[in-house]
Structure 1
């Protein structure tokens, strides 16, 4: 089994996804929490502007203060990382690959020589599961594909070996 998933096809930049490092990514989400509540779409620009303005005000009042290098992890978060079931949104990876203007589909190529096709717009809201009970997906992974609406939450798409933008 190959643990690296390429994003290829009608993209400006071909990417390779390594789910083994996502456990350290701050963008990871608990899968059950993601589907149990209505997720709020964060306005990233608004968050950035708010953060920048707070930083500006603090710098004016206190002088330049270096930001923390890395968010430390407390014992509870460490335990959660070792036992949780996590996923990460596909959207940032697709945006970084920069699909062509005429791209309309995402093909999910599975190891059983089967390909599943979904609209690219639907793929942006999808979640890639990479961990169950703190363990990487070895047997039917390295990732599981969940639709953003949770319609396949109990039966995600498994045994994925490549994502192709068409």
Structure 2
């Protein structure tokens, strides 16, 4: 149930979608294609360099934003809803090399090429009805523009940056 991001990155990382249910960055699937997404490419280079410095200096204290006080009705909603996670956060942390030409989505049966820009502007579906995607997961890829809303890329097990 993990998804490694490796290849032409400064920091190969491993994603664990099973813990994202508690992450504040998650978006309900129904709202993902109706609300305007945040463009992670709009950050200027100075801000990204500042974030990298902060990560290096405060590495022991950096934790993802987590819902600390979940009320009973919120817990029930979490266990009934489907959620996506914007991928850009993780690509920023991996620091894709400037000479990367694209990415490959590794599934259980094939490898699917995708551009870095399309990858940045995508979501991972990680929970359906509050449960992990065990049979056709661990994640599905949806483009933020909703163009593959009815036919997501399923069975993604790794991302290779080439």
TM band (smaller chain):
0.7 to 0.9
Hey, what's the Cα distance between the residues in 2 that align with 1:102 and 1:76?
Answer: 47
Query: TM-score, length-normalised on structure 2?
Result: 0.80
How many residue pairs get aligned? The number is 140
* Equivalent position to 1:29, from 2, 20, 27: 27
Hey, what's the Cα distance between the residues in 2 that align with 1:40 and 1:90?
Answer: 11
Check the 8 A contact 2:37/2:144 in 1, yes or no.
no
Hey, what's the Cα distance between the residues in 2 that align with 1:100 and 1:40?
Answer: 22
Q: 1:67-119 CA deviation, whole Å, 9 max, x = no partner?
A: xx96411222111110000010100100100011111312101111x111111
Provide structure 1 residue ranges, at least 5 long, that are not aligned to the other structure.
46-68
> Which residue of the partner structure matches residue 107 of structure 1?
104
Hey, what's the Cα distance between the residues in 2 that align with 1:158 and 1:70?
Answer: 28
> Which residue of the partner structure matches residue 15 of structure 1?
13
Runs of 4+ in 1 over 3 A off after TM superposition: 37-45
Check the 8 A contact 2:24/2:67 in 1, yes or no.
no
Establish whether residue 125 from structure 1 lines up as the match of residue 118 from structure 2.
no
Hey, what's the Cα distance between the residues in 1 that align with 2:77 and 2:148?
Answer: 24
- Structure number with larger C-alpha Rg: 1
Change beyond 3 A, Cα 1:146–1:70: closer
